[in-house]
Amino acid sequence: MVPAIQAMNEVLDEYPNDKHLAWLAGVWTENHQQWKRAIPMFERAIKLDASFAAPLNEVAYCYARYRIYDKAFDAMQRYIDLLPNEANPQDSYAEILRMGGKFDDALVHYRASLKIDPGFIESQLGIADTFALMGEEQQARTEYGIAVSHARSKSQAANWSLNAAISYLREGNLGGADAAFRAAARQAHQDDLAIPEAEAYRMMAAYQADSNTAMQLLKKAEDVLQEKHPLTVSAHDEELALVMREHASRAARDGKLPLATKTLQTLQQMAESSQDQSIQLAYDGAAGAVLVAQGKFEEALPHLEEDDHNPVSIKLLITVHRNMGAKDLAEQLAQILASWNEPTLEQALVVPEFRRKEAASASSFRRM
């Protein structure tokens, strides 16, 4: 990676006025989840040509991931102004509005996208995700059903079915979640889609109260990935890393530290032999979880900071800072976590419960 970055910087220096080069460098950096480093590259492309729409879209997402919403919204409005008759700018603006907690405004722009292009089905998914984050889970599942029925591929439908299953977790309906995930796994198996099938079992494992059940589900996910399926090595390894992360974290929470350590070592070997950022983050998240379970807060800190765009790791970071006496940092992270609005499994597992506990704690404090 270091030589690649050096080569990228050299070519940017050699061609300082090439807007497409600056944009592509930003995309490459963004794809490695280095959003802060990507921002100046996109801004450089925009400065070279204010009518260049693509970097406006990308830089808005980068700003939004760091909650710099004023700049994100400004970039998105400029993106829409440049491409008023295209659906994607409306869809992107809606997603960023949703990240900022502006749900009603997000729905307006998702619907505007579909009005421009009824076939832009990603905006129908966006409507469903927005209702899910608003806590209107039944309405969300209705909207997911529409999205799934119009999906362009079986893979797309499988992934969106997982989003619908996650909605049950936000309302605390674990039985409903189990049924939905199992249905998604069966359909993915019929369609020979290994990744969504493995994801379904891994996601089920994440919320099981019984550790034996969780471990059995993780074993099923691993077995699916070991079967012969038409999938890329990178997709296989990324999902396997997530399964192993959950395996190590669960073992650590159960006090089975030898098992947690052994799993973590295997995951570390995967991370060290790969340039895949997703695998590296899976390792850092797992390492942080295992070290927190051991009470090694200082050692856990750098790992969790690497994975600071995952609500599970942010919650652990809050625990670490509180135990280390950094109450201000813990409070800042608590505010970020409470306002986390991305339609993921981790958000559903962590954020709604965290909000309730923080609200109950604040209410108790006021009564004292």
Take residue 142 and report the two structure tokens written for it: 């209705």
**Cβ neighbours for 69, distance < 8 A, ≥ 6 positions apart:** 63, 96, 99, 100
Residue of 134, 129, 80, 75 whose CA lies nearest to 102: 134
Take residue 16 and report the two structure tokens written for it: 């300082």
How far apart CA 341 and CA 104 sit, in angstroms, is 13
Take residue 249 and report the two structure tokens written for it: 């974290």
Cite the DSSP H helix spans in the chain.
Answer: 2-14, 19-31, 35-48, 53-65, 69-82, 87-99, 103-116, 122-134, 137-149, 154-170, 174-190, 194-207, 211-226, 233-253, 257-272, 277-293, 297-306, 311-323, 327-338, 345-367
- Asked whether the predicted pLDDT for residue 367 surpasses 70, the reply is no
pTM of the model: 0.91
Residue 166 CA, chain-centre distance (Å), reads: 13
pLDDT score recorded for residue 9: 87
Which phi and psi (to 5°) does residue 142 adopt? Answer: -60, -45
Indicate the pLDDT class of residue 2, thresholds 50, 70 and 90. Answer: confident
Q: Taking the alpha carbons of 292, 298, 299, 302 in that order, is the dihedral positive or negative?
A: positive
Residue of 306, 328, 339 whose CA lies nearest to 69: 339
8 A C-beta contact, residue 94 and residue 123: yes
Take residue 362 and report the two structure tokens written for it: 């604040």
pLDDT score recorded for residue 362: 57
Domain locations along the chain: 153-231
8 A C-beta contact, residue 60 and residue 80: no
Q: Tens digits of per-residue pLDDT, 276-328? A: 889 999 999 999 999 999 999 999 999 999 999 999 999 999 999 999 999 99
The fold of the 153-231 domain, in CATH, is: 1.25.40
DSSP state of 49: -
Take residue 336 and report the two structure tokens written for it: 């970020």
Cβ-based burial of 58 (10 A; exposed 0-12, middle 13-18, buried ≥19): buried
Indicate the pLDDT class of residue 365, thresholds 50, 70 and 90. Answer: very low
Q: Taking the alpha carbons of 309, 312, 314, 317 in that order, is the dihedral positive or negative?
A: negative
DSSP state of 34: -
Take residue 349 and report the two structure tokens written for it: 């597992």
Indicate the pLDDT class of residue 226, thresholds 50, 70 and 90. Answer: very high
**What is the greatest pairwise CA distance in the chain?**
64
How far apart CA 177 and CA 167 sit, in angstroms, is 8
Q: Tens digits of per-residue pLDDT, 64-123? A: 999 999 999 999 999 999 999 999 999 999 999 999 999 999 999 999 999 999 999 999
Q: Tens digits of per-residue pLDDT, 16-46? A: 999 999 999 999 999 888 889 999 999 999 9
